[in-house]
A and B are shown apart, each in its own frame.
Chain A
Amino acid sequence: MNYINYLIVNKDIIIKELFNHLQIILYALPFAILIGVGTGILISKHQKLSKYVLYLTSILMTIPSPALFGIMVIILGPFKLGLGKPPAIIALVIYSLLPMIRNTLSAIKSISKEMIDSAKGMGMTEMQILFKIKIPLSLPIIMSGIRNSIVMGIGIAAIGYYISAGGLGYFIFAGLSRGRYEMIITGIILLASLGMGFNYLLLKIESLLTPKGLRFKN
């Protein structure tokens, strides 16, 4: 009873914070994909470099997320971007890098050397091999990296509340400090449905992007 009441009274706030949350994620998304997948593709030709980059990104992943948001605030402070959405977006991009780079790398590596030789042997240029062979064949695995990053990012973005980025974190953290369970439950339900919704949507996109000749594997 309490809970329904809370929803009705606060529906404007709920919509606003939901929108804030989506905003953080959707801003971070293009950068994360561009940087993550791009880096993955660029370094895929260099064994050693790939190893170092993967090592570096996995270290970044071990930073606890509240700490990373804090670091962003400190670094961006001097540019007057210390609070609000920018640090949250950047922190999210950094968190997304590892799964995206790792999946891109392993996708490209999983293409057999013979197939690449065969493409080269027919006279394809490096660019043609990248766009006609490597990327299409890697797309399903790259997409699942993107999906993992986004679903994970939906949870992490909640921490944005602490640095005034807004978002669904408000209901959980404010609810916790005020002891208001209906707030906490609202936050959890919204975050969970957002996560499941994105997961479902991205799975659909993933299977659409899977080249027909590869679909039999699923």
Chain B
Amino acid sequence: MPIKFINVSKKFKDVYAVKNLNFEIDDKKITVLIGPSGCGKTTTLKLINRLIERTSGEILINGLSIDKIDKIELRRKIGYVIQEIGLFPHYTVFDNIAVVPKLLNWPKNKIKNRVIELLNLVNLDFKEVINKYPYELSGGQRQRVGVARALAADPELLLMDEPFGAIDPINREILQDVLLNIQKKLKKTILFVTHDIREAIKLGDKIAVFKDGEIQQYDSTINLIKNPKNKFIENILGINAKLNYLEFVKVEKFIEKDFLVTNSISNINKIEKECLIIFTNKFEGFVLKTDIKKGHIKIRNDYVTPDQSVLEALNIMFKHNIHCLPVIEKNNEIKGIIKYEKIILK
């Protein structure tokens, strides 16, 4: 569900909480909102599920104004996760996750199966936790239940307001990985609020930087890091941003299709594409355009998997002094190639 903000403002009394928001949230991607406390991130989220009504402007979901959809119905179609406090203390894990399916009158069996499926998805042992109350869980477990609950009725859109903010750093990393894994499988449109730039870089396909209720810069994560528009953005990014980026961003984000596949290299003297992948029933190696010199062909064996980090890919490239690498799935499926010039930062 793509979401479009057109000139959206929200005033409390005379003060703007957000002002003139104009931006589009991409379908099936993670968009991160970041900025100092009080800059309007939470307000922006709540404008979408109408916990807060905007003062002016228009918000479109799938091209349709959110005013045209019944408020209650709209909310049941949107997953909402806040800090751990959002779980109902008098409900068991099962009942917490079953809230929206029950509101939607799903049959009992379907709810049960769904809860078990979701607990597996967030890597919780359902037998162990399903009948527990929130106070019997650790902070990390609670937050997993929170994510499972938001996904219960399979919404296309997830709104997450600093969901891992109260979790210790080690468990936060784990939860972020859980979320990335889920996203890989389910491809939801996710709007994620954080004030942690490391988290933003790790999770965000795109990042919107807020200041005083306005968007300072909205760009893909890499562009933001490459071209911070002003001092404020640079400060938000901090000194580790580039390193974080290389560390977190997965190879899969840079896969290109600029390659050919062959099962034999016997009669090749010119490659039309950057990279020629040799593949019989498994990956056998690859040849770069520049590797063919005067009839001599050099075959290379390196590759990366899509879930390796860009930093790892760069390491391999530096080691062999090459500018691109094949991306091969663990089951030997060819995903594409990754190129140096696309990932390297200025």
Do residues B80 and A118 form an inter-chain contact, with CB atoms below 8 A? yes
Q: Which of B75, B76, B90 contacts A214 (CB 8 A)?
A: B90
Give the size range of B's interface with the partner.
20 to 34
Report chain B residues within 8 Å CB of A137.
Answer: 89-90
Residues of B within 8 A of A118 (CB): 80, 82, 85-87
Question: Interface centre among A114, A117, A211, by most B CB within 10 Å?
Answer: A117
Contact of A201 with B by CB under 8 A: no
State whether the Cβ of A125 lies closer than 8 Å to any Cβ in chain B.
Answer: yes
Query: Min CB distance, B258 to chain A, in Å?
Result: 44
How many residue pairs at the A-B interface have CB separations less than 8 Å? Answer: 66
CA distance A216 to B92 in the complex (A): 14
Q: Do A121 and B80 touch across chains, with their CB atoms under 8 A apart?
A: yes
A121–B135 CB distance below 8 A: no
CB distance from A78 to the nearest CB of B (A): 49
The verdict on A194 contacting chain B, using a C-beta distance below 8 Å, is no
Q: In the complex where A123-B100, A128-B103 touch, is A115 in contact with B76 (Cβ < 8 A)?
A: no
Other-chain contact of A213, B49, B74, B133 (Cβ < 8 Å)? B133
Q: Which residues 124-154 in A have Cβ within 8 Å of B in the complex? A: 124-125, 128, 133, 136-137
Tell me whether A212 is interfacial, beta carbon within 8 Å: yes
| Cβ contact within 8 Å between B89 and A213 | yes
Task: Given A122-B76, A123-B72, answer yes or no on A117-B133 (Cβ-Cβ < 8 Å).
Answer: no
A122 touches B100 (CB 8 A): yes
Q: How far is the CB of A105 from chain B (nearest CB, A)?
A: 20
- What distance in Å separates the Cβ of A126 from its nearest Cβ neighbour in chain B? 10
Tell me the minimal C-beta distance from A213 to chain B in angstroms. Answer: 4
Q: Is B88 an interface residue (CB 8 A)?
A: yes
Interface residues of chain B, those whose CB is within 8 Å of chain A, are: 46, 49, 51, 72-76, 78, 80, 82-83, 85-92, 99-100, 103, 133-135, 149, 159
Residues of A whose CB lies within 8 Å of any CB of B are: 112, 114-115, 117-125, 128, 133, 136-137, 211-214, 216
Q: Which 8 A-B pairs have the closest CB atoms?
A: A211-B90, A123-B76, A118-B86, A121-B80, A213-B133, A123-B75, A213-B90, A213-B89
